[in-house]
Amino acid sequence: MDAKITDQINTDNAAKTRELICIVCPMGCHLSAQTENTADGTCRVLSVSGNTCPRGERYAREELTAPTRMVTGTVTIDGGIYPRLPVITSAPIPRERIFDVMEEIHQAHVCAPVQIHDIIIQNVCGLDADIVASRTMPLKEPAQ
Amino acid sequence: MYDILIIGAGICGTFIARDLSRYELKVALLDREDDIACGATMANSAIVHSGHDPEPGTLKARFNLEGSRMYEEICRQLGTVFRRCGAFVASASDEEDAVLDQLFARAQKRAIPSRILSRSEALQDEPHLADGVRRVLDLPTTAIITPWEIAIALAEEAVLNQTELLLSHTVTAIQKEQNGFLVTAQTGDGRQRMLRSRFVVDAAGVYADRIYAMAASDVPFAITPKRGEYYVIDREEHPLVSRVIYPVPSAKGKGVLAVPTIHGNLLIGPSSDPIEDKEDVGTTPWGLDYVQQQISKTVRDIPFHKVIRSFAGLRPSGSTHDFIVEEARDVPGLFLAAAIESPGLTAAPAISHYITEELIGSRIDLRPKKEYTKRQPPTPFHQLSPAQKNEWIRKNPVYGHMVCRCEHITEGEILEAIHRPVGARTIKGVKKRCRPGMGRCQGGFCEPLVAEILCRETDVTMEELFYMQDNVQKDIPGERRDNR
Amino acid sequence: MKKRDLVIIGGGSAGMAAAIAARKKGIQDILILERGSETGGILLQCIHNGFGLHTFGEELSGPSYAERFSDQIRDLGIEVETDALVLHMDSERKIIYTSPRSGFVTLDARCVVLAMGCRERPRGAIGIPGTRPAGIWTAGAAQRYVNLDGFLPGRRVFILGSGDIGLIMARRMTLEGAQVLGVAELMPYSNGLSRNLKQCLEDFHIPLYLSHTVTDIRGHHRVSSITISEVDDNRRPIAGTEKAFDVDTLLLSVGLLPENTLSEEAGIELHPRTRGPVVDQFLQTTVPGVFACGNVLHVHDLVDFVTAEGYMAGESAAHYLTAGLPQRASVPVTAGEGLSYVLPQRIHPDALPDTLTLSCRVLAPQRNVLLAVEKDGKLIKSVRRPVMLPAEMEKITLKKTEIEGVRESLRLRILPQSVCASPDTAK
């Protein structure tokens, strides 16, 4: 899988204007951020404009420097009332690691019963987040 | 070595197979698709026409009239639904009035019950006739059926009486041999099979000319697919029309009809477009626009906002403008049921009877089987009383599990459709046999449930069920999936 | 015939909330009829997070959100019959349902809450031309295959409709290894939340084609390709703008319709815009003793609002059973300029609650407008709205004192902000 989930990488260090739409609330403010690339290759936000509240600025800074996402998926489960158990990360993980986390989720295999919040994968990909069950999965009653 | 190999499991092929299965013969019924009735039999107006329309002296006239008189008894024997709803032919101009009178005279001459009604008389029975309708020809013997239900029932009965059913077999070559034919077929899993048969019946629908061409150097006819597009309108407690409404026929054919269906839907169509591609059953914006515009001449207030589906069927239209039902002149032993366009559905039992009894019967000794097994119709669960239903459910709780909430189809009925002779193996096959997915949600809710049942009962995976047939990439590298 | 005090049709988020509220108001005899094998409804297959921000202050997954309510149903000892499908209901609240355990059952309900949810518009309802191969699914059906069955129904996918389910499935299919080639939207704007546009499409570089629709589908057994075309201002395809995509799957996210077959059968008046029952301020339909809540009433975008509506329907049902409710609401509440609908559609002027919350939706995106309320033709209140989107339901709460004495009608409308003359009407 070679899907790209990082934004286009800036190769020079010059200041750049980045446009994004705020997703914190339905207002959908059009944000404009002045950024520059630091020596270690990360992005630094110099200023944010277009936001109508402080949450917009915080969002822009996070999204441009270290975007994170919650990841949800399913793992194979034996003996449950469904063949798949829905799972979720216990905390947001870096956006560029989504597919690595999915890979781990695809490898997991558990047996029913499972309680909601049970840890399915500890410290997934070393990202300080666990993969936990997002529902209780009871045992399937044997057919009569 | 078969005695007879029938190519094409549509309405003609299945009638012929069932009729031949009464006799001590080794018969095979072959089709390129994975189920019975996948071509014109699945996509037509579903009418048993009274026989008023075809030109005098044609095979269409003969077999239509004979067929329409056979259907009710055939459906009773098979346990399939037949409803004599009647029909009006509605005229809307002076010229059409003149044609209507000719049709009336023709119907009278053919002893078809018929009469002319004034607009006000007709409106009493059909209040939604369009404003322009002046008079109608009333044809009370016209009936509606479910064509694929009949084809499947015929195939079941043929198989119960030792007919071999060869589905997913595409004929690629036919060679004339000393004592018959060598037919080469490619199977769904890519194998080649060589089948020998004394006689071959070509009932291959739009491909009848290609099949003929495999056996003969010169084909005296061509089949052009005529595409007919239809709308299906949601079931209503009081359907807009209670009988078939025809316009006055023109050079283009019977025209755009309004047809009540057995299950309470309303069918509006067909358009009529000769096309090149024998596979192109796609609907088109212009075809459906034509249907909308034409139907307004005979019926008003059609609730097009309640359309649940549109579809197109290809009718095999012959260059001779009549059915071709004969032993091929330059290929002895090859029997043709070709160019069976409208009224082919109505004519099919009569065509089959003629091919079986007269054509094949003159070449081979037809000895009736001592024991003939009749088909047992599926449990008519819908028709049971609440007390009877509860009795069934107590014995078999799957009849209490409603899978299709639009058409009220239970898991029990789906299991039957899968496990009957000639049982369903695909989602479409289940839908054809017991209707889950035919309703207003079009399977959005029930299809995953039907898929689960099919996988469980026929021991296939979801991947096999949905990816079996076309060249879709089956595996994703590095991914492990476990769905069973 | 068995008699029941309260029958709730549907055990999803609306039905569970209604049952909980009714029980808390003292109704003992409650039966939830649920067609699935457990309570939770459509949430069970919505494994993504984002549910419950208003209700719990957390962003839960659908199954987690459902489980909190299923637990309460169990703890309160509310009776649920699963695998039970209601087949018929009449205007006397006679209900016929079937289940593998009970068979066909006829019930006489003193009170009914409709909570059947909604269904997706299928291909037939929008008339996409082309062939009818396998590989065309509503987004919700695909979601069920992927999330409950663990079956990936497509490898190369195109999506028609930018509603939230379509966007969520674009991401979901991508994460499971499918390639999503694009999403087409008939309107010049998306119907999804901007968060989903960002996190489901942009994150994965999935193109969104606004003002486009699917104009052809090809394939014999399975979809082999689809064609999209740009549409003009009347939403008709423009010749010469066709783009073809080789895909094996087309997912449809082209709208949700309240599931009202039973309501129609019972003679309940339906609203032409919401396609759900016409209700009064108690969420009572035009058939006395029958209430409606959740997506069967009008399609929601947030489950929190569904839950709130369920609570209200449950409380109203309890009032109806214990003290009775007034019948025949006399004052219409109507949608004026710029609005698609307002709920409730009728109120009882003599039984006004302390506050009355109206829900509405705009017909098209709006910026810097006023959402205004007219009482008997006179402007009584307006609130400023920087942004209003058709995808997002709006609410406005009126105090009893503001609407007391209403005789003819209440009317909601959108006004340009400049019209805001008297400063005291602005919030």
Residue A106 to residue B482, Cβ atoms within 8 A: no
Measured between beta carbons, the chain B residues lying within 8 angstroms of C104 are 386, 389-390, 393, 400
Mean pLDDT score of chain C? 93
DSSP C53: H
**C334 DSSP β-pair partners:** C411
Listing from the earlier edge strand, what are the strands of the sheet with C243-245? C212-218, C225-230, C243-245
Nearest residue on chain C to A90, judged by CA atoms?
C60
- Give dist(CA C417, CA C427) in Å, integer: 12
Q: Which residue has the higher pLDDT, A38 or B317?
A: B317
For residues C106-135, give the mean pLDDT. 92
Residue in C408, C390, C406, C387 with CA at minimum distance from that of residue C398: C406
Asked if B266 and B323 count as a contact pair (C-beta separation under 8 A), the reply is no
Residue B463 at interface with chain C, using a CB cutoff of 8 Å: yes
- Percentage of residues in chain C having pLDDT higher than 70: 98
Asked if B248 and B200 count as a contact pair (C-beta separation under 8 A), the reply is no
b/e sequence B315-339, b meaning 16+ C-beta within 10 Å: bbbbeeebbbbebbeebebbbbbbb
Q: C425 falls in which pLDDT band (50, 70, 90)? A: very low
Residue A5 to residue C204, Cβ atoms within 8 A: yes
What is the three-class DSSP state of B98?
helix
Residue B482 to residue A76, Cβ atoms within 8 A: yes
Torsion (CA) C275, C279, C285, C291 in degrees, nearest 10 = 100
For residues C118-143, give the mean pLDDT. 91
Q: What is the pLDDT of residues B35-44, one digit of tens each?
A: 999 999 999 9
Residue B480: predicted pLDDT: 35
Residue C21 has pLDDT above 60, yes or no: yes
> Any idea which residue has 């995976």 for tokens?
B461
For residues B111-119, give the mean pLDDT. 97
In single-letter form, the type of residue at position B252 comes to K
CA-CA distances (angstroms) from residue C98 to B207, B403, C4, C194? 47, 11, 16, 42
Q: Is the domain of C83 the same as that of C231?
A: no
Residue B238 makes CB contacts below 8 A (sequence gap 6+) with none
Residue B473: predicted pLDDT: 38
Asked if B155 and B16 count as a contact pair (C-beta separation under 8 A), the reply is no
Residue C149 has its nearest CB partner, among B281, B462, B467, at B462
Q: What is the pLDDT of residues A74-102, one digit of tens each?
A: 999 999 999 999 999 999 999 999 999 99
pTM here? 0.91
In single-letter form, the type of residue at position B39 comes to G
Measured between beta carbons, the chain A residues lying within 8 angstroms of C175 are 71, 73, 98-99, 102
Measured between beta carbons, the chain C residues lying within 8 angstroms of B451 are 145, 149
Q: What is the pLDDT of residues C302-312, one digit of tens each?
A: 999 999 999 99
DSSP B381: G
For residues B222-233, give the mean pLDDT. 96
Residue B482 at interface with chain A, using a CB cutoff of 8 Å: yes
CA distance A29 to chain C (A): 10
For residues B162-170, give the mean pLDDT. 97
Query: Tokens in use for A84?
Result: 């798949």
- Give dist(CA B192, CA C278) in Å, integer: 63
Q: Is the domain of C16 the same as that of C114?
A: yes
What is the three-class DSSP state of B190?
coil
Q: Which residue has the higher pLDDT, C382 or B476?
A: C382
Q: Degrees (nearest 5) of the Cα angle C52, C58, C59?
A: 70
- Percentage of residues in chain B having pLDDT higher than 90: 88
Give C292's Cβ-side CA count (13 Å radius): 33
Q: Is the domain of C215 the same as that of C288?
A: no
**B238 DSSP β-pair partners:** none
Q: C421 falls in which pLDDT band (50, 70, 90)? A: very low
Q: Is B49 annotated as catalytic?
A: yes
Residue B374 has pLDDT above 70, yes or no: yes
Residue B339 makes CB contacts below 8 A (sequence gap 6+) with B208, B221, B223, B316, B317, B318, B319, B320, B322, B323, B324
Q: Is the domain of C249 the same as that of C145?
A: yes
Residue A137 makes CB contacts below 8 A (sequence gap 6+) with A77, A80, A81, A82, A85, A112, A113, A114
For residues C383-388, give the mean pLDDT. 89
Residue C410 has pLDDT above 60, yes or no: yes
**C415 DSSP β-pair partners:** C370
CB atoms within 10 A of CB B289: 12
Residue B475 at interface with chain C, using a CB cutoff of 8 Å: no
- In residues, how long is chain A? 144
Nearest residue on chain C to A95, judged by CA atoms?
C203
CA-CA distances (angstroms) from residue A28 to A18, C24, C392? 16, 39, 12
Measured between beta carbons, the chain C residues lying within 8 angstroms of B410 are 98
Residue C37 has its nearest CB partner, among A4, A81, A99, at A81
Q: Is residue C406 part of a domain?
A: yes
Sign of CA dihedral C39, C42, C46, C52: negative
Q: Which of C219, C254, C289 is the last residue of a domain?
A: C254
- Give dist(CA B276, CA B257) in Å, integer: 24
- Give dist(CA A137, CA B462) in Å, integer: 22
Q: What is the pLDDT of residues C261-278, one digit of tens each?
A: 999 999 999 999 999 999
Asked if C63 and C352 count as a contact pair (C-beta separation under 8 A), the reply is no
Residue A12: predicted pLDDT: 56
Residue C63 to residue A135, Cβ atoms within 8 A: yes
Residue A38 makes CB contacts below 8 A (sequence gap 6+) with A13, A44
Query: Tokens in use for B329?
Result: 């002149």
Measured between beta carbons, the chain C residues lying within 8 angstroms of B469 are 220-222
Asked if B336 and B325 count as a contact pair (C-beta separation under 8 A), the reply is yes
Residue C427 has pLDDT above 80, yes or no: no
Asked if B89 and B114 count as a contact pair (C-beta separation under 8 A), the reply is no
Query: Tokens in use for B140?
Result: 């009370």
Cis peptide before A113 (omega within 30 of 0): yes
Q: Is residue C423 part of a domain?
A: no
Q: Which CATH architecture has domain A72-133?
A: Roll (3.10)
Q: Is the domain of C48 the same as that of C138?
A: no
Residue A95 has its nearest CB partner, among C49, C175, C203, at C203
Q: Is residue C41 part of a domain?
A: yes
- Give dist(CA B266, CA B256) in Å, integer: 13
Q: Which residue has the higher pLDDT, C11 or A36?
A: C11
Query: Tokens in use for A50?
Result: 């277009």
**C291 DSSP β-pair partners:** C113, C284
Residue B462 at interface with chain C, using a CB cutoff of 8 Å: yes
Q: C176 falls in which pLDDT band (50, 70, 90)? A: very high
Q: Is the domain of C107 the same as that of C184?
A: no
Residue B251: predicted pLDDT: 79
Measured between beta carbons, the chain A residues lying within 8 angstroms of C149 are 82-84
Residue C29 makes CB contacts below 8 A (sequence gap 6+) with C4, C5, C6
Measured between beta carbons, the chain B residues lying within 8 angstroms of C123 are 309, 442
CA distance C123 to chain B (A): 7
- Give dist(CA C427, CA C424) in Å, integer: 8
Q: B475 falls in which pLDDT band (50, 70, 90)? A: very low
Residue B451 has pLDDT above 90, yes or no: yes
Across the B/C interface, how many CB contacts are shorter than 8 Å? 132
Q: Is residue C424 part of a domain?
A: no
For residues B356-363, give the mean pLDDT. 96
Q: Is the domain of C216 the same as that of C149?
A: yes
Give C268's Cβ-side CA count (13 Å radius): 34
Cis peptide before B303 (omega within 30 of 0): no
Listing from the earlier edge strand, what are the strands of the sheet with B47-48? B47-48, B143-145, B82-83
- Give dist(CA A16, CA A7) in Å, integer: 14
Q: Is residue C344 part of a domain?
A: yes
List the 82-121 stretch of A: residues with Cβ below 8 A of B: 83, 106-107, 109
Residue A13: predicted pLDDT: 61
Residue C151 to residue B463, Cβ atoms within 8 A: yes
Across the A/B interface, how many CB contacts are shorter than 8 Å? 9
For residues B429-446, give the mean pLDDT. 91
Q: C53 falls in which pLDDT band (50, 70, 90)? A: confident
Asked if B364 and B333 count as a contact pair (C-beta separation under 8 A), the reply is no
> Any idea which residue has 């690629």 for tokens?
B172
Q: Is residue C70 part of a domain?
A: yes
> Any idea which residue has 């996509």 for tokens?
B43
For residues C338-353, give the mean pLDDT. 94
What is the three-class DSSP state of A60?
helix
For residues C335-362, give the mean pLDDT. 94
Q: Which residue has the higher pLDDT, B127 or A10?
A: B127
Query: Tokens in use for C208?
Result: 């969104």
Cis peptide before C344 (omega within 30 of 0): yes
Residue C85 to residue B405, Cβ atoms within 8 A: yes
For residues C396-417, give the mean pLDDT. 93
- Give dist(CA C291, CA C301) in Å, integer: 21
Interface test with B, best of C1, C37, C104 (most B CBs within 10 A): C104
Output the DSSP codes for A1-44: -----SPPPP-S-S-EEEEEE--SSTT--EEEEEEEE-TTS-EE
Query: Tokens in use for B171?
Result: 């004929």
Residue C387 has pLDDT above 90, yes or no: no
Residue C204 has its nearest CB partner, among A3, A81, A82, at A3
What is the three-class DSSP state of A88?
strand
Domain definitions of chain A by residue range: 12-66, 72-133
Residue C222 has its nearest CB partner, among B288, B408, B470, at B470
Asked if C326 and C348 count as a contact pair (C-beta separation under 8 A), the reply is yes
CA distance A123 to chain B (A): 22
Q: Is the domain of C227 the same as that of C347?
A: no
Residue B283 has pLDDT above 50, yes or no: yes
Residue A47 has pLDDT above 70, yes or no: yes
CA distance B384 to chain C (A): 12
Query: Tokens in use for C376?
Result: 């008997």
Residue B479: predicted pLDDT: 36
Residue A106 has its nearest CB partner, among B479, B483, B484, at B479
Measured between beta carbons, the chain B residues lying within 8 angstroms of A143 are none
Residue B483: predicted pLDDT: 35
ipTM rounded to 2 decimals: 0.90
CA-CA distances (angstroms) from residue A33 to A5, A19, A45, A65? 20, 6, 7, 11
- Give dist(CA B57, CA C142) in Å, integer: 55
For residues C115-139, give the mean pLDDT. 91
Q: Is the domain of C99 the same as that of C141?
A: no
Residue B228: predicted pLDDT: 96
Residue B468: predicted pLDDT: 61
For residues C81-106, give the mean pLDDT. 96
Residue A52 at interface with chain B, using a CB cutoff of 8 Å: no
Residue A143: predicted pLDDT: 61
Residue A23 to residue C49, Cβ atoms within 8 A: no
Measured between beta carbons, the chain A residues lying within 8 angstroms of B482 are 76, 83, 109
Domain of C282 in residue numbering reads as 2-119+257-328
Mean pLDDT score of chain B? 93
- Give dist(CA C39, CA C134) in Å, integer: 30
Residue B480 at interface with chain A, using a CB cutoff of 8 Å: yes
CATH number, domain of C212, equals 3.50.50.60
Residue C219: predicted pLDDT: 94
Q: Is the domain of C203 the same as that of C150?
A: yes
Residue B400 to residue C217, Cβ atoms within 8 A: no
Q: Is residue C204 part of a domain?
A: yes
Residue in C395, C416, C387 with CA at minimum distance from that of residue C194: C387
List the 392-421 stretch of B: residues with Cβ below 8 A of C: 393-394, 397-398, 400-402, 405-406, 408, 410
Touching A (3+ Cβ pairs <8 A), the chains are: B, C
List the 76-135 stretch of C: residues with Cβ below 8 A of B: 83, 85, 87, 98-104, 106, 119-120, 122-125, 127, 129-132, 134-135
Sign of CA dihedral C255, C258, C261, C264: negative
Residue in A72, A84, A96, A89 with CA at minimum distance from that of residue A5: A96
Q: Phi, psi (5° rounding) for residue B474?
A: -90, -35
Measured between beta carbons, the chain A residues lying within 8 angstroms of C47 are 72-74, 86, 88, 134
Q: Is residue C426 part of a domain?
A: no
Residue B440 has pLDDT above 90, yes or no: no
- Give dist(CA B299, CA B245) in Å, integer: 8
Q: Domain count for chain C, please give it.
A: 3
Measured between beta carbons, the chain C residues lying within 8 angstroms of B443 are 122, 141
Residue A83 to residue B484, Cβ atoms within 8 A: yes
Residue C205 has its nearest CB partner, among A4, A102, A136, at A4
Asked if B7 and B201 count as a contact pair (C-beta separation under 8 A), the reply is yes
Least confident of A80-84, B46-50, C125-129: C125-129
Least confident of B356-360, B378-382, C179-183, C381-385: B378-382
